[in-house]
Amino acid sequence: MKHFISMKQLTNDTIFHLIETAELCKSLDVKIPNQLFSANLFFEPSTRTKMSFTVAERRLGLEMLDFHTETSSLKKGESLYDTVKTLESIGANIAIIRHESDDWMTELDTGINIPIINAGAGKAEHPTQCMLDLMTIYQEFGRFIGLNIGIVGDIKHSRVAKSNAYALHNLGANVFLCSPPGYEDHTLGFPCITIDEAVENLDVLMLLRIQHERHQRELKTEGYLEYFGLTKEREGRMKEQAIILHPAPINRGIEIDSDLVECGRSRIFKQMSNGVYMRMAIIVHMLTEWGIINGNFIKKCETISG
């Protein structure tokens, strides 16, 4: 794999390998033995993704190149390609990129000689978020085949929805979509259901926030929770073992009642914890794929810990 850009690149075997590696990263003191540098290029606001990559990199022993868009040469007209090429030239071994463009990665398709990890591409994909979601679901159920999983909310503008719908379908889950009128994405090709059908029939309810920053006109949020969100009454009708996921940030009282964010069936903060270990696993995987580190070093960590 040249770069970690899309869930469409990953085979099911690779997905399970990454989940296994993430679990090892959670249980072992995994440190890369040689000095390596990572460049975190975030062109959109981020809390969870940026901070979990930062913690993942520090746990692995990587050194981070300090990059801030507002004080970089991007302000002078430098292209994304030249920015990444510059960081590569001065010693970056891997680049983590989030950008508002849906297809920023096409600019970097050739000429870049370090692995790139997609930390969010406009409305297109968010593969590292998808992988931590898959890890959380697998921890809960030990399988994907036959699970009924619903993605609920502003699907049209959500990169998380697209990555998850594709991956879950390929892993054998039954994927359902639920959106307010006008915020569907019929190109995904999965059945659309109502929020009331969703809460009564699904094993996993994956809620999404309204992506206001990607809307051409503002979506009114008054009444959203009542008509399209997860209320306490709806949560009470969910299947006994069903869980709630949300990639966050959470708009409490809009897509989900505030009291449900940390309820017994919520795995929202567990997702965030898993994000550190999954991003460690993805970094290790990409550095191994490129031959930058030895693929057996985690086994050595396991031997030392044992």
Give the domain CATH number at 117: 3.40.50.1370
Q: How many domains does the chain have?
A: 2
Indicate if 121 and 142 belong to the same structural domain: no
Mean pLDDT calculated for residue range 91-117: 94
The pLDDT value given to residue 37: 98
Burial degree of 280 (CB within 10 A; 0-12, 13-18, 19+):
buried
Does residue 234 lie within any of the structural domains?
Answer: yes
Across the chain, mean pLDDT equals 92
Mean pLDDT calculated for residue range 57-71: 88
The pLDDT value given to residue 215: 45
The pLDDT value given to residue 185: 87
Please enumerate, by residue number, every residue annotated as part of a binding site: 48-49, 76, 98, 126, 129, 159, 209, 248-249
The pLDDT value given to residue 212: 47
Q: How wide is the angle at C-alpha 198 spanned by C-alphas 187 and 222, nearest 5°?
A: 85
Mean pLDDT calculated for residue range 5-15: 97
Please enumerate, by residue number, every residue annotated as part of a binding site for carbamoyl phosphate: 48-49, 98, 126, 129, 248-249
The pLDDT value given to residue 21: 97
Helix (H) or strand (E) holding 25: helix 12-27
Does residue 74 lie within any of the structural domains?
Answer: yes
Indicate if 20 and 116 belong to the same structural domain: yes
The model's pLDDT over 190-230, given as tens digits with 9 standing for 90+, comes to 999 999 999 999 999 999 988 645 545 565 667 889 989 99
pTM: 0.93
Domain span at residue 107 reads: 7-126+275-305
Give the pair of three-digit tokens for residue 151.
């993605």
Rounded-to-integer distance, Cα 168 and Cα 166, Å: 6
Token pair 């059908």 in the structure block, residue: 197
Q: Does residue 279 register a pLDDT over 90?
A: yes
Please enumerate, by residue number, every residue annotated as part of a binding site for L-aspartate: 76, 159, 209
Find out whether 135 and 141 touch, Cβ atoms under 8 Å: no
Mean pLDDT calculated for residue range 13-32: 96
